[in-house]
Amino acid sequence: MDPSELGPIPPDQMKATRTPGYWRLVGGRILADRVTLVCLALLALIVASAVFADLLAPLDPLKTSMVKRLKPIGTPGFLLGTDELGRDILSRLLFGGRMSLLMGIWPVANALVVGGLLGIVAGFFGGRVNMLIMRTVDVFYAFPSVLLAVAISGALGSGMKNAIVALTIVFVPPLVRIAETVTTQVRSLDFVEAARASGAGSPTIIRVHLLPNVMGPILVYASGLISVSIILASGLSFLGLGVEPPQAEWGLMLNTLRQAIYVQPWVAVLPGLMIFVTSICCNLASDGLRNAMEIKQ
């Protein structure tokens, strides 16, 4: 998703975002969107299954058995079959969802704090501050996000923490850009000029007048990055730069099961199916939220 896709926000809508009636209207639009509701329900189910994996998993996801390796879907005692080491696929999918969601949400949350702060500062103060921050951010746009994530992870080394750091760095630039764009629009509005004329300081203007009007678009844009983060995190794990064995993670499971694709193809594609369903639901839910908030002009 490109920040440039988000058009300027009408001034009357910016003021409306601070009223309770506006949020009731947004909620009503979301409830009327069946696609968004289905995606949100599926995401809630995936998140709940990951959070309560300890209670839902029928077996230990790390327990191996060479006698029971590569059992097909529907095998008694193994609802979704077993992997190349005889581990229960259902249990590993549940625990793998916990790791994949964590690696999808955590980098975006970190980038939201860092990128949102830098973008608001750049958009509010402008001038040399804006030039310094935005030209530094532009350097990262010279590299594709996938290549940048792989390069940073390769430099830092494999591991979940290093992968999260790499993905955070990848997502900071687009969030800086969208925050700077929205803040530049808001700072020129009449109510901000009135607050400045009344003697309010910059911290007060940012906290009281800017944040309530810019956080909506920034949060919606960040929600769309979660699906990208899940895919990139799974790709890093698939390449051996993310979660390390024997932990369960959807991308890592794809890597270990790829050699069994000709033996048990349906078992081997299950982690990829979970990545696809989760990412597409995140995208559609984000689009529905954006449409409900009428962020596009």
The pLDDT of residue 9 is above 70: no
Could you tell me which residues are beta bridge partners of residue 82?
Answer: 88
- The model carries a pTM of 0.86
Q: Give the chain's mean pLDDT.
A: 87
Residue 179: what pLDDT?
Answer: 93
Express as a percent the part of the chain with pLDDT over 70.
91
The CATH number of the domain where 150 resides is what?
A: 1.10.3720.10
The pLDDT of residue 5 is above 80: no
What is the pLDDT averaged over residues 268-278?
93
Residue 258: what pLDDT?
Answer: 87
Residue 3: what pLDDT?
Answer: 53
Instruction: Count Cβ atoms below 10 Å from residue 55 Cβ, excluding itself.
Output: 8
What is the pLDDT averaged over residues 57-63?
92
The pLDDT of residue 165 is above 90: yes
Number of domains in the chain: 1
Residue 81: what pLDDT?
Answer: 92
Q: How confident is the model at residue 112 (pLDDT cuts 50, 70, 90)?
A: very high
Express as a percent the part of the chain with pLDDT over 90.
56
Cβ(84)–Cβ(246) below 8 Å: no
Domain hosting residue 54, numbered range: 3-293
d(CA 156, CA 103): 16
Cβ(185)–Cβ(213) below 8 Å: no
> Which range, of 92-101, 175-184, 193-202, averages the lowest pLDDT?
193-202
Phi, psi of 276 (to 5 degrees): -65, -50
What is the pLDDT averaged over residues 99-110?
94
Residue 214: what pLDDT?
Answer: 86
Q: Which of 225, 286, 290, 281 is nearest to 39 (CA)?
A: 281
What is the pLDDT averaged over residues 74-80?
91
The pLDDT of residue 33 is above 90: no
